[in-house]
Chains A and B, each alone.
Chain A
Amino acid sequence: MLNKIYDWVDERLDITPIWRDIADHEVPEHVNPAHHFSAFVYCFGGLTFFVTVIQILSGMFLTMYYVPDIENAWKSVYYLQNEVAFGEIVRGMHHWGASLVIVMMFLHTLRVFFTGSYKKPRELNWIVGVLIFCVMLGLGFTGYLLPWDMKALFATKVGIQIAASVPFIGEAIKILLAGDSSIIGAQTLTRFFAIHVFFLPACLLALLAAHFIMIRRQGISGPL
């Protein structure tokens, strides 16, 4: 039955080449932990992606209850964590996932660095990877404010002070992030929400696509 559906679609759209490119290729021995246990370091990239998928999913579900508004943000987070079934777990996944994704991405970066895999011809993919790293840190920074609790507010104050200390354009960056020259309040929260939920994820998805296409074009770097 499934085969028939596949054939029916393939006849019209010729999806076999796409399928081959995604799934039907050989994986070399040196990245396979079944052959060399030390090859587990090659899992970090995949695990980073796995956590990213969990982050995107749990984030989508969190917005079903969350309100980005200074009077209600904290209350909605409190409610979804304490009143909604499994709310503690869904928020927990998003909260701890944010830390895990940084950890896994850091380990992945170190693996690529110490195996010298960023060398020609893979320079561009390394640059895209560093950009993904920056976007992830941005997601961490903006997401930290959203529960609108004490530590969120005051950590953001410090973060925005740091951004404001950039010479010449610091003040403009600060207002662009905070939405006001002196108050960290209603406009800051909505801006951080927009950046966290729409702008940075859009960048992230584009960069991830580029990252994966390049990996498939170039394959995994050879053994050391």
Chain B
Amino acid sequence: MSNNRVTRRQFLNYTLTGVGGFMAAGMLMPMARFAVDPILQKKAGGDFVPTDKKASELSDTPVKVDFTFEQVDAWYKSKVTNTAWVYKDGDKIIALSPVCKHLGCTVNWDGNKDFKNEFYCPCHGGRYEKNGKNVAGTPPLGPLDEFEVKVKDGLLLIGKTRANTLV
């Protein structure tokens, strides 16, 4: 017994700490995992949203394409409709976001008689070239955003927005 460095009291203290730690972990682990769930949740695939526009119908003139996707916010599902201006540049399909980079109005192709072949924003006269580049001297601060696009079974699919890659 004289070699025994751990006294009875110390042993009891360690055991108490251990059991206490087990109880704390047992209580808190499910709760912690519960709280951080959104961080670990994988986003379901299918980021591309189908439209009813046939890829073959597209020309080099931008047309308005509506696409509706279901936004899932936990227990709320809502339909959100977005629009894109889509045209063909050679074989490449380009889809531009209609959201003006000034204050978020909606731009239109050939929206003003005086500015042919440009995107025009009616709010403050912001103008963009066909590739989305903002015309210097008008209010917008940058080029229009671009959507990722895909063609499947001849139909156009629209994905996420990204910064304009054409300018």
Q: In the complex, are there CB atoms of A and B closer than 8 Å?
A: yes
Q: How far is the CA of A178 from the CA of B38 in the complex (A)?
A: 9
Q: Mark B46-74, 1 if CB is under 8 A from A, else 0.
A: 00000000000000000000000001011
Q: Mark A64-89, 1 if CB is under 8 A from B, else 0.
A: 00000011000000000000000000
Q: Mark A172-187, 1 if CB is under 8 A from B, else 0.
A: 1001101111010111
Scoring B71, B73, B75 by chain A CB atoms within 10 A of each residue's CB, the highest score goes to B73
Q: How far is the CA of A185 from the CA of B72 in the complex (A)?
A: 10
Q: Kindly report which residue of chain A lies nearest to residue B75, judged by CB atoms.
A: A186
Shortest Cβ distance from B113 into chain A, in angstroms?
36
**Do B73 and A180 have beta carbons less than 8 Å apart?**
yes
When distances are taken between beta carbons in the complex, the residues of chain B under 8 Å from A187 are: 38, 73-74
Q: How far is the CA of A70 from the CA of B74 in the complex (A)?
A: 11
When distances are taken between beta carbons in the complex, the residues of chain B under 8 Å from A71 are: 76
Q: Mark A22-59, 1 if CB is under 8 A from B, else 0.
A: 00000000000000000000000000000000000000
When distances are taken between beta carbons in the complex, the residues of chain A under 8 Å from B73 are: 70, 180, 183, 185-187
Interface positions of A from 180 to 205, Cβ below 8 Å from B? 180-181, 183, 185-187
Q: Kindly report which residue of chain B lies nearest to residue A183, judged by CB atoms.
A: B73
**Is B9 part of the binding interface, using a Cβ–Cβ cutoff of 8 Å?**
no
When distances are taken between beta carbons in the complex, the residues of chain A under 8 Å from B36 are: 176
When distances are taken between beta carbons in the complex, the residues of chain B under 8 Å from A176 are: 35-36, 38-39
**Do B74 and A185 have beta carbons less than 8 Å apart?**
yes
Additional A-B contact list (8), CB under 8 Å, known A176-B36, A180-B73, A185-B73: A70-B73, A70-B76, A71-B76, A176-B35, A181-B38, A183-B73, A185-B76, A186-B73
- 20 A-B pairs (CB sep. < 8 Å): A70-B76, A175-B39, A176-B35, A176-B36, A176-B38, A178-B38, A179-B38, A180-B38, A180-B73, A180-B74, A181-B38, A183-B71, A185-B74, A185-B76, A186-B73, A186-B74, A186-B75, A186-B76, A187-B73, A187-B74
